[in-house]
């Protein structure tokens, strides 16, 4: 059986951690070796949980974020496959094996699971995540019946709740950029996978049940918006940035207005300030990402969308016309990529 290094992170009270660890340990068809990274867990039974499930416990002494925690955890293994499983996600017994079977294909970079809502496992949490031309991403198929996403397909981005990669792919992509800390890192890794000439594949029979909650608190919105900017500025090609400059700048103004009305305007401005203070890192990261890519944006343009999912992102009245305008604009500039 294939060996898989599984990394899981712990933070806060982690009410589902015991079940998540036990589910990975009970996996069939693979030999999982789990590393639990303690990013600040308040539970006092981590040693006991790890002993019971065969997991290795790492205590870095500070919160490394999702990006730093995953990078640390996977650096402690050498299995030919690596997996990310959320601490509030319960993998089906055969889920990891099914993901490994797909990730074995040399043309596949990331195998992404069929993530269901724990409150109703017949309902989707994510069937792979879309990518909007303005850099936003969301849980694809959220709220849909699972039966409507029963076919495997390529997707723009994986859902980080349950994925498998070959270790050689993870190492070639150099893992997550630790500056992201949390949020959008699965999108960033997925897009660089596509740029490397590999595909991101949704695997409908690899079921992962997720205790999902979005939680629109200011700190999360700060990271989401800041990391969206970092993603766009570092991964989009020069022609793409030039072609989308007008809608991207307009969207920034609109997002500041929305943030101000919703009470997190300072967090939005804080994101801009972080980018400005770390512009040297942004430039350096961009140079590396663009030099490493093998596929140009024009070959990936079919993966972008100009439509928001109203089930995930409720839009104000009149936004339909703006989306139509953006779609027309994208059709006009896409040939310039």
Query: H or E segment at 245?
Result: helix 245-262
Model pTM? 0.96
User: φ, ψ for residue 153 (rounded to 5)?
Assistant: -160, 160
Domains contained in the chain, CATH given? 2-210 (3.90.550.10), 218-336 (no CATH)
Residue ranges of the chain with per-residue pLDDT less than 70: 215-218, 311, 313-317
C-alpha distances in Å from residue 260, one per residue of 218, 238, 251, 268, 271: 11, 31, 14, 8, 14
Reading phi first (left if > 0) and then psi (alpha if -120 to 50, else beta), residue 273 is in: alpha
- Here the tokens at position 192 are 């660089």
**Per-residue model confidence (pLDDT) at position 308:** 86
Inter-residue contact 25 to 54 (CB < 8 Å): yes
The Cα 53–Cα 105 span in angstroms is 30
Asked whether the CA dihedral 13, 19, 25, 29 is positive or negative, the reply is negative
**Per-residue model confidence (pLDDT) at position 182:** 96
**Per-residue model confidence (pLDDT) at position 295:** 98
**Per-residue model confidence (pLDDT) at position 218:** 63
Inter-residue contact 189 to 176 (CB < 8 Å): yes
């Amino acid at each position: 059986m294939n060996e898989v290094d599984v990394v899981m992170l712990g933070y806060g009270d982690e009410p589902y951690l015991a079940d998540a660890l036990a589910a990975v340990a009970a996996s069939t068809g693979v030999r999982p070796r789990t590393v639990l990274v303690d990013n600040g867990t308040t539970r006092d039974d981590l040693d006991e949980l790890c002993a019971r499930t065969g997991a290795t416990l790492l205590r870095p002494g500070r919160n490394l974020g999702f990006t730093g925690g995953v990078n640390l955890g996977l650096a402690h293994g050498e299995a030919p496959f690596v997996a990310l499983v959320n601490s509030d996600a319960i993998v089906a017994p055969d889920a990891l094996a099914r993901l490994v079977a797909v990730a074995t294909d040399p043309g596949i970079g990331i195998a992404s699971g069929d993530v269901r809502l724990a409150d109703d496992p017949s309902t989707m949490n994510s069937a792979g995540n879309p990518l909007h031309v303005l850099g936003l991403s969301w849980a694809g198929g959220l709220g849909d019946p699972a039966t409507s996403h029963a076919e495997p397909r390529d997707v723009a981005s994986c859902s980080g709740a349950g994925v498998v990669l070959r270790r050689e792919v993870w190492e070639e992509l150099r893992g997550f950029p630790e500056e992201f800390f949390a949020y959008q890192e699965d999108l960033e890794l997925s897009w660089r996978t596509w740029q490397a000439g590999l595909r991101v594949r949704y695997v409908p029979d690899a079921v992962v049940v997720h205790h999902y909650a979005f939680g629109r608190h200011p700190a999360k919105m700060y990271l989401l918006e800041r990391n969206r900017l970092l993603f766009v500025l570092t991964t989009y090609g020069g022609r793409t940035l030039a072609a989308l400059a007008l809608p991207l700048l307009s969207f920034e103004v609109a997002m500041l207005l929305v943030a101000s009305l919703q009470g997190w305007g300072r967090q939005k401005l804080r994101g801009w300030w972080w980018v400005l203070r770390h512009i040297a890192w942004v430039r350096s990261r961009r140079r590396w990402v663009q030099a490493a890519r093998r596929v140009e944006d024009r070959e990936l343009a079919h993966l972008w969308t100009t439509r928001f999912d109203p089930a995930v992102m409720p839009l104000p009245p009149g936004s339909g016309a703006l989306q139509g305008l953006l779609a027309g604009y994208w059709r006009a500039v896409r040939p310039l990529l």
